[in-house]
């Protein structure tokens, strides 16, 4: 056990945190704080360090992701918002030059020079929309760690973003087992090279990966684009289709998940991530209609990136570039692979 000093509105306490326990999550940590402070996890604002810096709280992640060390002091206050403290969506620049469409790019850039995709402060927290049955469809934010597609689908199908690497293996196995479909022409490189690349945690995924994951789990993945509201569907073969559907939210360079819950800050175990396909048309399916409304909210907050028009700068030579097309051409001509957004 490790001792962590907790400063809160009622005084100072000491928390005992289990060491080397990957099953102890951020939510478990927040529940421990709740037993001492009676501040609900959904209203906890947590800071640490000097000067104190706010922590990003993603309940499903292991406690170790917070980076709190033995003997550290944390400061807890009650937020005026009823929403969990999630950081704004920011998608790092890890494709070459970027993952612009549903197809993954594979030339690696350095993680030390991410593209920052700033969004308004009021994006923090889960956005949600009411549904006809009295529940809410919630925007489930996953980390910007180059595995967002795998984290979002792991949250949906395995109920834990910690399973993201397992879904990479599912993709690799899917390519390996179907060489006729996933050939060099489709993948853009030799299948063995693609498998090696997509298995790395620094490589983004796209349409190919969504299709394989949909086939593996036998469920449709409906990907809604925040900027346009367009829904792209990745369906399993008819003989593998279990009649279920899930929702992922695509910002242009980042994937999140959506789930149904009785309230926006409900515990993760109360969330439903798979829905029966009752209606095929977007305009009649209540979950797809709610997903479109959720995308409308995010669009109003500019929580998307248009990868064909955004302004970039090569961090290696300083040249200004417009969109993915120019960045790709520049990378091919110069070998430069570090870009930043103006």
Q: What is the pLDDT of residue 99?
A: 31
Q: How buried is 156 (Cβ within 10 angstroms: 0-12 exposed, 13-18 middle, 19+ buried)?
A: buried
Model confidence over 4-34: pLDDT tens digits?
888 888 788 888 888 777 778 888 888 888 8
**Distances 237 to 60, 200, 216, 243, 311 between C-alpha atoms, Å:** 31, 27, 10, 11, 40
CB 8 within 8 A of CB 36: yes
pLDDT band at 108 (very low <50, low <70, confident <90, very high): very low
CATH (domain of 73):
3.10.20.90
Is 312 among the domain residues?
no
CATH (domain of 210):
3.90.70.80
Is 187 among the domain residues?
yes
Residue 148 and residue 55 share a domain: no
Residue 162 and residue 74 share a domain: no
Is 28 among the domain residues?
yes
Report whether pLDDT(221) > 90.
yes
pLDDT band at 171 (very low <50, low <70, confident <90, very high): very high
**Residues annotated as part of the active site:** 145, 148, 254, 336
Q: What is the pLDDT of residue 122?
A: 35
Residue 135 and residue 29 share a domain: no
Of the listed ranges 68-77, 215-224, 283-292, the one predicted with least confidence = 68-77
Find the domain containing 273 and state its range.
Answer: 128-300
3-class state of residue 87 by DSSP: coil
Of the listed ranges 116-125, 164-173, 225-234, 265-274, the one predicted with least confidence = 116-125
Residue 139 and residue 52 share a domain: no
Among residues 10, 44, 78, the one where a domain terminates is: 78
Q: What is the pLDDT of residue 148?
A: 92
Q: Is 128 or 308 the better-scoring residue by pLDDT?
A: 128
| Residue in the structure block whose two tokens are 């049955």 | 133
The total domain count for the chain is 2
Q: What is the pLDDT of residue 28?
A: 84
Residue 289 and residue 169 share a domain: yes
Residue 41 and residue 163 share a domain: no
Model confidence over 122-145: pLDDT tens digits?
334 578 998 888 889 999 999 878
Residue 143 and residue 239 share a domain: yes
Report whether pLDDT(91) > 70.
no
Q: What is the pLDDT of residue 161?
A: 93
Residue 51 and residue 137 share a domain: no
Residue 146 and residue 34 share a domain: no
Q: Across residues 267-277, what is the average pLDDT?
A: 90
Is 159 among the domain residues?
yes
Cα 122 to Cα 307: distance, rounded to the nearest angstrom: 23
Cα 28 to Cα 33: distance, rounded to the nearest angstrom: 9
Is 162 among the domain residues?
yes
Q: What is the pLDDT of residue 176?
A: 96
Partnered with residue 250 across adjacent β-strands are 225, 255
Residue 288 and residue 172 share a domain: yes
């Amino acid at each position: 056990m490790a001792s962590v000093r907790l400063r809160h509105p009622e005084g100072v306490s000491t928390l005992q945190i289990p060491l080397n326990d990957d099953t102890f999550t951020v939510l478990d940590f927040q529940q421990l704080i709740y037993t001492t402070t009676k501040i609900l996890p959904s209203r906890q604002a947590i800071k640490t360090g000097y000067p104190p810096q706010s922590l990003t709280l993603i309940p499903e992640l292991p406690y170790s992701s917070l980076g709190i060390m033995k003997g550290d002091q944390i400061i807890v206050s009650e937020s005026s918002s009823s929403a969990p403290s999630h950081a704004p969506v920011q998608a790092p620049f890890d494709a070459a030059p970027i993952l612009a469409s549903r197809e993954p790019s594979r030339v690696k850039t350095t993680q030390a020079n991410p593209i920052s995709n700033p969004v308004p402060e009021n994006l923090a927290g889960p956005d949600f929309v009411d549904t006809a049955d009295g529940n809410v469809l919630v925007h489930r934010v996953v980390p910007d760690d180059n595995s967002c597609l795998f984290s979002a689908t792991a949250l949906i199908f395995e109920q834990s973003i910690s399973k993201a690497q397992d879904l990479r293996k599912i993709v690799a196995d899917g390519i390996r087992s179907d060489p006729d479909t996933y050939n060099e022409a489709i993948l853009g490189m030799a299948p063995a090279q693609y498998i090696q690349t997509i298995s790395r945690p620094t490589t983004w995924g796209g349409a190919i990966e969504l299709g394989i994951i949909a086939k593996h789990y036998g469920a449709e993945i409906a990907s809604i684009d925040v900027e346009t509201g367009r829904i792209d569907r990745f369906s399993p073969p008819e003989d593998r289709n279990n009649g279920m559907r899930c929702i992922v939210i695509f910002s242009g360079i980042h994937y999140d998940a959506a789930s149904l819950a009785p309230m926006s800050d409900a515990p993760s175990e109360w969330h439903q991530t798979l829905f029966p396909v009752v209606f095929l048309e977007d305009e009649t399916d209540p979950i797809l209609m709610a997903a479109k409304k959720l995308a409308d909210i995010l669009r109003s907050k500019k929580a998307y990136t248009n990868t064909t028009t955004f302004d970039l700068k090569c961090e290696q030579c300083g040249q200004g570039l417009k969109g993915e097309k120019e960045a790709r051409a520049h990378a091919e001509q110069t070998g430069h692979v570090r870009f930043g957004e103006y």
